[in-house]
Amino acid sequence: MRKIFFLFLFPFFIVSCSNSNNKEKDTPKAEKKDSLNDELHSAGIKTLNEQLKTSPNNPHLYYQRGLLYLGFKDFEAAEADALRALKIDSLSNDSFYILLTNAYFYAGKTRLAKETLDRCIKNIENATQAYLRLAEIFFYVKKYQECITNVNKALKINPNLAIGYFIKGMCYKESGDTSVALSSFQTACEQDDQYYDAFVETGRLLAAKHNPLCIEYFNKALKINQTAEVVYFVAKFFQDSKRIPQAIDAYNKLLSIEPKNQNALYNMGVIHYIYLKDINKAKGYFTQAIDANAEYADAYLARGICYEDQNNLSEAEADYKMATQNRTNYEAAIMRLNALLEKRKGK
């Protein structure tokens, strides 16, 4: 399964950021849509344009239009509208600063994005969004203490910010302090009972500690959003706990969602080989995993073992060789291949 990577606050896509001293050219610019084809023909843009004709000094209209431009990935237009809103009112609404920050970020202007957040904090008394954005920046450059410091400033203003506890949890997790991370994720769940990511991360940490309470959190996440990744976490926990019938049920559920999920197919092969002693079925699952990913080294090795157990040495040799070709220095496959070659030589 893919590693879950969370973008806490920015809504469209991940942009790598660096410290405020980096040049803007260091961050590649994202592709922008043709405004003539999208923005100018947007009903929302047209409506706001009409409203601005009669209320040209309304900062909220510029803000709303800027959000639409941001959604179209027209970052220059979003930046321009954010600047217009701030020119009219820079002291009462942190959302205008956040719009400008997002426009700068997505355009690769990371230094200006950070400067905008600093300006927001200076001008707006309770700028929780700005503190959280700064925390996110520090998280991505792995400055976890600075990240936590900014989160705490936001939580001092509003102690019920679930996202704040979640970000702290991610910092502690990345730093290796899983106990404090778990506590932070659980607090995020308590603050927002619809916080999918918080329930998933809590479940994952509990599963790593072999705590069956993880199933409760995974099930809650699934009620919020029925995703293949969480079904996989449930299945893997049951498998690791040797609760094989439950693991099989969960993997079958996952395969009904994603029939070519290579990890589910591989693990079903492992279950049938180790626990159910059904080599043919195990081999079939490993073959399906290879069909899903032709470079799946573990599946080639596992299927090779099945062939070897069935005394089909030529097929076993071919699979061991494929395993070594698809993973450099794959020691287990190399050892199996060398032993098999010695065995065949002695015949």
Of the pLDDT bands very low, low, confident and very high (cuts 50, 70, 90), residue 39 is low
Overall average pLDDT of the 247-255 stretch: 98
According to DSSP H, which parts of the chain are helical?
Answer: 43-54, 59-71, 75-88, 94-106, 110-123, 128-140, 144-157, 162-175, 178-191, 196-208, 214-224, 228-240, 244-257, 262-274, 279-292, 297-309, 313-326, 331-345
- Report the phi/psi class of residue 39: left, alpha or beta, with left for phi > 0 and alpha for psi in -120 to 50: alpha
Domain ranges of the chain: 13-124
- What is the C-alpha separation between 204 and 321, in angstroms, rounded? 35
Residue that has been written with the tokens 């001092």 in this structure: 156
Taking only the tens place, the pLDDT of each residue in 154-188 is 999 999 999 999 999 999 999 999 999 999 999 99
- What is the C-alpha separation between 69 and 40, in angstroms, rounded? 10
pLDDT at 344: 79
Residue 23 has pLDDT above 80, yes or no: no
Contact indicator for 141, 111 with CB cutoff of 8 Å: no
According to CATH, the topology of domain 13-124 is 1.25.40
How many CB atoms neighbour CB 24 within 10 A? Answer: 14
pTM, 2 dp: 0.81
3-state SS, residue 199 = helix
Backbone φ, ψ for residue 299 (5° rounding): -70, -40
Residue 143 has pLDDT above 60, yes or no: yes
- What is the C-alpha separation between 243 and 241, in angstroms, rounded? 5
Taking only the tens place, the pLDDT of each residue in 200-243 is 999 999 999 999 999 999 999 999 999 999 999 999 999 999 99
Of the pLDDT bands very low, low, confident and very high (cuts 50, 70, 90), residue 24 is very low
pLDDT at 15: 31
Residue 10 has pLDDT above 50, yes or no: no
- What is the C-alpha separation between 153 and 132, in angstroms, rounded? 9
- What is the C-alpha separation between 65 and 72, in angstroms, rounded? 11
Contact indicator for 151, 164 with CB cutoff of 8 Å: yes
pLDDT at 42: 83
Of the pLDDT bands very low, low, confident and very high (cuts 50, 70, 90), residue 30 is very low
Of the pLDDT bands very low, low, confident and very high (cuts 50, 70, 90), residue 140 is confident
Contact indicator for 63, 85 with CB cutoff of 8 Å: yes
Residue 59 has pLDDT above 60, yes or no: yes
Of the pLDDT bands very low, low, confident and very high (cuts 50, 70, 90), residue 309 is very high
- What is the C-alpha separation between 255 and 288, in angstroms, rounded? 11
Residue 16 has pLDDT above 90, yes or no: no
- 8-state DSSP, 317: H
Give the list of residues 6+ apart from residue 145 with CB closer than 8 angstroms, or none.
none
Look at residues 196, 201, 264 and name the one whose alpha carbon lies nearest to residue 231: 264
Residue 122 has pLDDT above 90, yes or no: yes
**Range with lowest mean pLDDT among 11-15, 97-101, 315-319:** 11-15
Look at residues 274, 312, 306, 271 and name the one whose alpha carbon lies nearest to residue 287: 306
pLDDT at 26: 42
According to DSSP H, which parts of 192-278 are helical?
Answer: 196-208, 214-224, 228-240, 244-257, 262-274
Residue 17 has pLDDT above 90, yes or no: no
Average pLDDT value over all residues in the chain: 89
